[in-house]
């Protein structure tokens, strides 16, 4: 049971319902995470806006979802792990690729470098060094893509914290955590 109210789009104010409408359209339902965040219209605008901006960024959607599952598993966020595993599959990742990403691994060296960096950001709370950034450059990432990797991590920290702190009920097919935080 969620620790905070899950806003029902059909029973909320018109301004909140208007914010939830594009989410409903994108998913065919309003996922519980967005219903929780809808308690704060400012937070919902921020979250949905970040998803939209990064969805139109330079990183491939598949890599964004692989980063998301790595961060979710590291933070023991069952909600984000389930949601992003499903979204990763829709973005073209195989079940094996998503399972490997949970552990911060990939058979593709460039993806593996991005996942290592993402998890180092999480583990070290952003305290990475010049060598960590250089490793991404050597893997083929330019500064635009490096900043976007960090943005994906930051957005996923936000969503992980929402779901874990508020015990948001998972409404995607469950995926087992591989490493509990």
> What is the per-residue pLDDT across 147-161, written as a single tens digit (0 to 9) for each?
999 999 999 999 999
**Domain positions in the chain:** 14-55, 61-165
> What is the per-residue pLDDT across 24-42, written as a single tens digit (0 to 9) for each?
999 999 999 999 999 999 9
CATH architecture, domain 61-165: Up-down Bundle (1.20)
In this prediction the pTM is 0.95
Mean pLDDT of 64-89: 97
User: Please, what is the end-to-end C-alpha distance for the chain in angstroms?
Assistant: 21
Residue 60 and residue 42: Cα distance in Å, rounded?
27
Taking the CA of residue 70 as centre, how many other CA atoms within 13 Å lie in the half-sphere pointing to its CB? 30
143: pLDDT strictly greater than 70: yes
Give the confidence band of 121 by pLDDT, cuts at 50, 70, 90: very high
């Amino acid at each position: 049971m969620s620790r905070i109210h899950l806003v029902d789009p059909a029973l909320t104010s018109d301004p909140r319902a208007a914010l939830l409408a594009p989410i409903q359209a994108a998913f065919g339902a309003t996922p519980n995470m967005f219903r929780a965040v809808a308690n704060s219209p400012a937070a919902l605008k921020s979250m949905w806006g970040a998803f939209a901006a990064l969805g139109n960024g330079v990183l491939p959607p598949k890599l964004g979802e692989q980063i998301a599952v790595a961060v979710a598993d590291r933070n023991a966020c069952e909600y984000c792990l389930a949601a992003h595993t499903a979204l990763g599959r829709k973005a073209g990742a195989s079940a094996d690729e998503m399972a490997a990403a949970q552990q911060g691994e990939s058979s593709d060296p460039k993806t593996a470098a991005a996942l290592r960096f993402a998890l180092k950001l999480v583990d070290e709370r952003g305290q990475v060094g010049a060598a960590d950034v250089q490793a991404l450059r050597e893997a083929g990432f330019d500064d635009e893509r490096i900043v976007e990797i960090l943005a994906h991590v930051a957005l996923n920290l936000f969503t992980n914290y929402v779901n874990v702190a508020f015990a948001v009920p998972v409404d995607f097919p469950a995926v087992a955590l591989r490493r509990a935080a």
